[in-house]
Structure 1
């Protein structure tokens, strides 16, 4: 695989993965095509056996067993997250105002709201329903076509809009679907959509749906230097970790986990602060008491996008720590442990990057500003494993359309591939 092929695959994945559920579907399909099998009670996870994966709603774990005993070699883990800030539909969303039909929404995560105005929006997610036999079933939906929009207020009606316009999500962000139809009910609309797919649906009982921008991902710039897309944070890392895992040579125990709910704190059954990963790892061990020993010999790389220094806002960065697009993957450091990076993990990453002729950048927040966080500190705290926070430099994080460099995901892929090949032990220890 070369960079162009990698980026083409990334754009395709970004287009498919419109929600965390669709991201898991796209990831699991690629795993199946590569010979990975769904985990069940009959799965063989012994040394040298085939790869397995386990899904839980919008999260997924994939494992490629190594050639030697797990407790001797340890686990090489990469973590990312499948969710992105968006507009999620409320349970009773129908709003009829002045002859128009809108759907009430709730903002998921720390979304940058202004870019959501005047975009062609579609709707996707998961629908739970009662079938014709009285059983509860679930299906994914993705309308793909633009069916909604959040119109801006004209400048003539708000002359201060370019100077001081705040956004009230409750009053101003409800997407417009149609001229008012007094009979429209979203659940009935979803039922008919599912029936058109030949599913036996008696009643739609519930759903988890979000709006998304229908503009497709693209490689842009005078020389194709950039990748523009929704959900780069953090589907870019999910895809990069997946490709590294698929290309792992099977010599080392290698694991990819992509969690849902990072953007809202990770505290859920399938989030990084839930038991999903720990339960999976314990299932690989002869007894639960072996977990601390395994974690001593393991490492987690938390891959989540990093803030690139913006040419129009350079003062938002520390002068010595302003990552550049296409400058290589970024090691993220924070003294207050908002990132879990330690010096030994960062040192190993630098060695691996040097082996692959990949440049590495550093990010530390200004001392007078607070930074965000990732699944890294959560996973480190839950498992007690050495964890490193890294990411691809990005503009417009949490916007409806983000921007990254077209070289950086490929560069990160090469380093993660080397990480999955790195012989045990990862660290020589104190001397």
Structure 2
């Protein structure tokens, strides 16, 4: 496959975004930084909002971020064109009282499984802790350690049957090492806090996750493949971010909304099932003079693209996929369809997405699960249920979903951004 220069530049920028975003909090901060650098105004939830037609704004809540660009002629019934994603990824989160001295003199960090990671993919990698520390005064500090942890696999000599089937106990077999010795003063949290210039005794709370430190990279024949941690779902977050950054809306309010906690159900104050998205929509409508009647009319004319990675056909497990609908890497974004509404796509939404792909000159594919293997879900059905806005589920086909390091085609993220930009230009 020949990769266009524009697609290669796009994936290089995606790599930079992933590298800057080891946690959802970093991802939201990096998205906000890029948007402010691009002319968006940072809003704060505790302030009164004064919005101007033609204005461009961004607001952050914890690990979630929403940005929007108003048309010059925005009014009370102007609809929304929304591209949505999520900022979190499956993995591990640091527990309370995380430091322990394990057998053999190893220092270990206590971690809890977050979401549904492929546990074996996290073994024998140099990992870091990243996220936020909140001090006793309530100030938030973003922090990342660089390579600090490793979850060591048991040698084959001590488990001769390992290649016939690896079974990992989530408690006993996933606790990483981070040092050696019998140092009674060793404290992994204190070491992380020191990097944030917060004394250990002033740590009031923390949300720290484990992230792989191997850099993203293109590789393979023609360097047409792209491997990175957290493609699920920073790939979609990055695509939506670029689409709204470059949007020049005329008929609808262009919006980018990326939420935390999708991997664990979205039920949080900053998740798609929480109030954040609706509160922002209501505040925008109110600033444009809308009451409940006008807002309902605007919502009825609005459109939401929920984007999350999906499954490319796996060459070693082709029987796990639907026999007729077989997405391939490099074949363009996928339209996700599920009869049981695990994805929110319906006929009208599919038609809008098809038109957007055609307008952007982007190839597209369809994804539906093998009947014997139920699919996962996304923020799409949640947003559609909470807001009543027509929603379509899309994504990019990848391999190794929920691995510590996932695999995509170089061209597909570029295709996705172009299609999203066409939606925002409605």
Report the TM-score range of the alignment, normalised by the length of the smaller protein.
Answer: over 0.9
Map of 1:152 onto structure 2? 153
Aligned to 1:55: 60
Instruction: Give the deviation of 1:250 after TM superposition.
Output: 3.0
The residue aligned with 1:209 is 208
State the number of aligned residues.
Answer: 413
In structure 2, runs of 5+ residues without a counterpart are none
> 1: distance between equivalents of 2:418 and 2:274?
30
For residues 178-229 of structure 1, what are the alpha-carbon distances to aligned partners after superposition, in whole Å with 9 as ceiling and x for unaligned? 113221123432343333xxx6775212211111111000111121111100
Aligned runs of 1:22-37 on 2, under 5 Å? 22-37=26-41
Quote the residue 1:87 is aligned against. Answer: 92
1:178 aligns with 2:179: yes
Alignment check: 8 A CA contact 2:227 2:407 kept: yes
Aligned equivalents of 1:221, 1:27: Cα separation in 2 = 29
SS at 1:169 equivalent: coil
How far apart are residue 66 of structure 1 and its match? 1.3
**How many Å separate the matches in 2 of 1:111 and 1:194?**
28
Structure 1 residues 6-405: aligned runs within 5 Å: 6-40=10-44, 41=47, 43-48=49-54, 50-98=55-103, 99-130=105-136, 135-144=137-146, 146-180=147-181, 181-195=183-197, 203-251=202-250, 252-285=252-285, 286-405=290-409
User: CA 1:316/1:71 → structure 2, altered by over 3 Å: closer, same or farther?
Assistant: farther
Contact 2:8 2:411 in 1 (8 A): no
- Residues 218, 226 of structure 2: 8 Å contact kept: yes
Q: Contact 1:81–1:234 at 8 Å: present in 2 too?
A: yes
Residue-by-residue CA offset, 1:258-280 (whole Å, 9 max, x unaligned): 00000000000000000101011
- For residue 67 of structure 1, report the CA deviation from its aligned partner: 2.5
How far has the Cα of 1:347 moved from its partner? 0.8
User: CA-atom RMSD, angstroms?
Assistant: 1.5
Q: Distance in 2 between matches of 1:201 and 1:46?
A: 44
What is the Cα deviation at residue 93 of structure 1? 1.2
Could you tell me how far apart the structure 2 residues matched to 1:15 and 1:121 are? 13
TM-score by length of structure 2 reads 0.94
Q: 1:113 to 1:415 in 2, by over 3 A?
A: same
Task: Report the CA distance between 1:56 and its aligned residue.
Answer: 0.4
Gaps of 5+ in 1: 423-431
